[in-house]
Structure 1
Amino acid sequence: MSGVKNILLVGVGGQGTILASKILTEGLLQAGYDVKMSEIHGMSQRGGNVSTQIRFGDKVHSPIMGKGEADVIVAFEKMEALRWIEYLKPGGELVVNDFEMPTVPIQIGAEQYPDDVIGTLQAAADTVVIKAGDIARNLGNTKIMNVVLLGALAKAMNLHEIDWESLIRKNVKKGFEEINWNAFSAGYNEAKLSPTF
């Protein structure tokens, strides 16, 4: 890997975007990278927009990336992918959860949820679609979608040398270690390697 790589994680409050970002950041530090992370909250409680920028490499000077600079965007909710796609660089990859979780403006009728979001995204970028909601439901808990997506991201980034299992077991709530590790493994197995990395 050469230079600095930029990862953008976006979602809706309550989806566990920050937890996934924290585990990813710890993993990258464990792998020996210089890492900078910046959290941006619209309303971080349930229903608001949440995004995290993670930049890593040999030496990172700033935690902030600009539009057109993200190597990978991971969208925990598909409309959030549309909202942030202008941050993806040409040739970058979008990992998107095929899942709807309307934000507050949509819930109160101030915005409309767009039609055919996945089709629009696939026309605009190299898109990996993960049905993390279905995977999490099959494992027994829809709250683990974030860890499914983290697994998909780890695979796309070819970060196989990191001890993900110990990081996940350390960071998730006590009693939920096994199901979260299963979620990560399922996401990892579902994704493909990205040509970006």
Structure 2
Amino acid sequence: MKQKRCDSIVGGLQVSALEQNFLLAGVGGQGTLLAADVVALVGMKLGLDVKKSEVHGMAQRGGSVTSHVRWGKKVASPLIEPGEVDFMIAFERLEGLRYAHMTRPGGVLLINDYRIAPVTVASGSKIYPSEVDEELAYASVVRSVCGDNCIERMYVPAVAIAQEMGNSRVNNIIILGALSALLPDVPEELWLEVISERVPSRYVQLNRTAFTTGRAYMQGHS
């Protein structure tokens, strides 16, 4: 496994802005790809080599959508190998469980505390995991990766926060704000600059507020 330069420690986690692997996963319509674009552009503005790949799946039918984003001095491949993800960012709880095995020992699972029934559940052929089943499944995955309690799992009630703001669609930006709090070497204003460039002008202030709200939430809970 590659050696990572560690510049700071947040919540007991060693974090560097210079070399990071991000895996973003969600359901079609959640803004997963916009969030991935923001993460990639932030890396570019830091002067890093950035690679990004996307898998859309059945996005228009509520299927899984994933994006790999890699920051580094020199990045060879856009794809992240299992066990090499620093930040697994899930915009839906089941997506977090689906890709938890990709996280490296000492990595972070950042999860939107929100459930969307996949097509198989909506059709009645499958059952959405209960919280007990979910915990057991996570425990099994973590043990297979690196033993007990070696991956930090953090939940953010992003949809609930977004609904309080009056627009549930900004839950993806709230999650990005939470992520930014775990990357203290990256200036907050850089994230806000990229968000302002990527969203329609009439929604810039709403998204900036969503970002700072998510950042403040994580700073108060990590």
Residue of structure 2 equivalent to 1:141: 167
- 1:163 is matched with 190
Deviation at 1:109, TM superposition (A): 1.9
Gaps in structure 1 of 5+ consecutive residues: none
Spell out the pairing of 1:85-124 with structure 2 (5 A cutoff): 85-116=100-131, 119-120=135-136, 123=139, 124=142
The one-character-per-residue Cα deviations of 1:100-121 (angstroms, maximum 9, x if unpaired) are 1122222112321101166457
Deviations 1:35-55 (A, max 9, x none): 000101211224110001011
Which segment is superposed worse, 55-64 or 42-51?
42-51
Tell me which residue corresponds to 2:214.
187
2:201 to 174, 183, 197: 174
For residue 173 of structure 1, report the CA deviation from its aligned partner: 2.4
Q: Please give the TM-score of this superposition, normalised by the length of structure 2.
A: 0.81
CA distance in 2, matches of 1:192, 1:122: 24
How many residue pairs match? The answer is 194
Is 2:53–2:68's contact at 8 Å kept on the other side of the alignment?
yes
Alignment identity in percent?
36
Pair 1:81–1:61, CA change in 2 (3 A) = same
In structure 2, C-alpha distance between the alignment counterparts of 1:57 and 1:180, rounded to whole Å: 27
Shift of 1:170: 1.6
Q: Deviations over 1:164-196 (max 9, x none)?
A: 222112211231111111110011111249x9x
Does structure 2 retain, via aligned residues, the 8 Å contact 1:14–1:46? no
Larger radius of gyration: 2
Which stretch shifts more, 121-130 or 138-147? 121-130
1:19 aligned to 2:34? yes
Correspondence for 1:57: 72
- Separation in structure 1 between the aligned mates of residue 78 and residue 160 of structure 2, nearest angstrom: 33
Query: In the alignment, is the contact (CA less than 8 A) between 1:169 and 1:177 conserved in 2?
Result: yes
Contact 1:152 1:190 in 2 (8 A): yes
Q: Secondary structure at the match of 1:95?
A: strand
Distance 1:15 1:161 in 2: 23
Contact 2:195 2:204 in 1 (8 A): yes
Compute the displacement of 1:66 (Å). Answer: 1.3
RMSD: 2.1
Give 1:188's aligned amino acid: R
Q: Which amino acid aligns with 1:95?
A: L
CA shift at 1:138, angstroms? Answer: 1.0
Distance 1:182 1:121 in 2: 35
C-alpha change, 1:142 and 1:88, in structure 2 (3 Å) is: same
- Runs (5+) with no aligned partner, structure 2: 6-17, 143-150
Residue number in structure 2 paired with 1:74: 89
CA contact (8 A) 1:11 1:49 kept: yes
- Rounded to whole Å, the distance in 2 between the matches of 1:65 and 1:38 is 10
Q: Read off the aligned partner of 1:131 and give its amino acid letter.
A: P
